[in-house]
Amino acid sequence: MPTVSIIYFSGTGHTTKLAEAVAKGAASVAGVKANLIAISGDDIVKGRYQNDAVFTQLDASDAVIFGSPTYMGGPAAQFKAFADATGAKWYAGAWRDKIAAGFTVSSGPSGDKLSTLHYFFTLAMQLGMIWIGLPELPMNDRGINRLSSYSGVMAQAGQEPVDIAPNAADKLTGELLGRRVGEYAVKLKK
pLDDT tens-place string over residues 134-165: 998 887 888 899 999 999 999 998 766 666 67
Overall average pLDDT of the 79-108 stretch: 96
Q: Which residue, 45, 39, 48, is CA-closest to 79?
A: 39
pLDDT digits (tens, 9 = 90+) for 39-69: 999 999 999 999 999 999 999 999 999 999 9
Q: Helices 14-27 and 168-189: crossing angle, nearest 10°? A: 40
What is the pLDDT, as a whole number, of residue 108? 84
What is the pLDDT, as a whole number, of residue 55? 97
Domain 3-189 is classified in which CATH homologous superfamily?
Flavodoxin domain (3.40.50.360)
- pLDDT of 8 > 90? The answer is yes
Overall average pLDDT of the 63-89 stretch: 96
Domain spans of the chain, in order of start: 3-189
pLDDT digits (tens, 9 = 90+) for 19-30: 999 999 999 999
**pTM as predicted:** 0.95
- pLDDT of 111 > 80? The answer is no
End-to-end CA distance of the chain: 10
Overall average pLDDT of the 172-177 stretch: 97
C-alpha–C-alpha distance, residues 34 and 186, integer Å = 12
What is the pLDDT, as a whole number, of residue 43? 95
What is the pLDDT, as a whole number, of residue 159? 65
- pLDDT of 74 > 80? The answer is yes
Continuous H helices in 71-161:
77-84, 87-92, 113-126
In eight-state DSSP terms, residue 129 is -
Rg of the chain over Cα atoms, rounded to whole angstroms, equals: 15
